[in-house]
Structure 1
């Protein structure tokens, strides 16, 4: 019987060096300097390691943030080695991070994610109950790592308020669908104009976006730019990404937007 994965706070330079190794394995690019992560660790940051026995197989790197009014935790990186990306480890790590953050006095945590990564969207919005608050075009500029290379780094900014009441279960409504997927896997706009009188909208995204990027880069670009237009329009009208609904019979997920 395998040992359970242990999730614990990182406290020293040796553990931060282990974190660098995992980061490099996940993103295939030079890791964050230890002097930076160590500074965050000593000034309000929350850094976690996930361990299988004595081996670090995942980490979270977050640091203190301030918007001019309130403090919050900025969760910058969550990395897990490929063989461990099942069984809900990412969610367990985020919940541990939130537990520690709340005890430290943070009311909220924020981070960004690629809106076309359906697994991340489902974790952030559906499982954790966070909200997508803002859309950022090419937020990080050009990135050459294995996960982001070749596309603008558009991101949705997440806000996870620890005292927020989660929404009830959402039922998909095709009549409120703004963007869908055609039979060949391409994005197809259903409605050009967003009626502000409607307080609910859905947007389809494909599963396994990384596979699409590898097999059909042009299709991946179409998804980036078509969804960008719809996301921008919704956020500009005061909508927020509240949940993600999965189509159990097709490789499709649907964003649920509401005011």
Structure 2
């Protein structure tokens, strides 16, 4: 399977041990991991590739510029089988150029070829760019919130923060283009604030988390407020369907009741048995 994305970009499964090593180097660089910080193993990637997992690369000619991997998962409550995308990273020089979208759609095509029609993954809800990409560009839906999924961060970009995550679900068998959610709020919610708009709920977040993260105490307060808002609304049966930014320093999520959200049936109570996040931070 080769998926062309532009004149010089090709997306395909990784095939050689050297490609597995290059993907790990890219992963470490994009996530800003130190030399002793744990990372994915080339041998693990090779095992996944040989045993039903996805190990997908985006290449500019011979150069690897994007990488995603995942494995088959099973929901402990419902028994549903899905593909779990553990991570997806794009070289900083190639971010914002459509590589992430091409990479995820290459992964989508691969997973559909295995007969599985649903994919899940996690991401940090305070990162508006990831939220917009997952919900508005891909058309996935955030259905669950898991507090401190991996424990307190001890590496990467947010050391000392809890690893709170949204879990999204992507219907691979449905239309590849997400439905538009273009409504502009009548009142933009503050960071971590919940605002009701008709049957929808809105949650405000920073437009640029990296700017907020320069003030650690303030960043932790904002993260706590955002996490509390998601835990409350998703626990009440809402689904996050969109994340958009305004012209200032803020962005907002739009959440709808599960029964009214496009392309989803109501979610069962509880969270999936999933671990693991445009750069899709695990």
- Give TM class, smaller chain: 0.7 to 0.9
Normalising by structure 1, report the TM-score.
Answer: 0.87
| Alignment partner, residue 233 of structure 1 | 232
How much does 1:125 deviate?
0.3
| 1:110-141 alpha-carbon deviations (Å, 9 max, x no partner) | 00000001100000000111000100101111
1:53 aligns with 2:61: yes
Within-5 A mapping of 1:31-180: 31-67=39-75, 69-164=79-174, 166-174=178-186, 179-180=189-190
129-138 vs 202-211, which deviates more? 202-211
Separation (CA, whole Å) in 2 of partners of 1:180 and 1:10: 43
Separation (CA, whole Å) in 1 of partners of 2:219 and 2:234: 22
1:256 pairs with one of 254, 257, 264 = 254
Asked if the contact 2:207–2:245 (Cα under 8 Å) also holds between the matched residues in 1, the reply is no
How much does 1:161 deviate?
1.1
31-40 vs 126-135, which deviates more? 31-40
How much does 1:221 deviate?
0.5
How much does 1:67 deviate?
1.9
How much does 1:8 deviate?
1.3
- The runs of 5 or more residues in structure 1 that have no matched partner are 182-186
How much does 1:235 deviate?
0.8
Number of aligned residues: 244
1:223 aligns with 2:231: no
Q: 1:211 to 1:87 in 2, by over 3 A?
A: same
Structure scoring higher RCO (CA < 8 A, sep ≥ 6) equals: 2
How much does 1:241 deviate?
0.5
Separation (CA, whole Å) in 2 of partners of 1:133 and 1:256: 12
Separation (CA, whole Å) in 2 of partners of 1:20 and 1:229: 34
- The runs of 5 or more residues in structure 2 that have no matched partner are 1-5, 258-282
Aligned residues: CA RMSD: 2.1
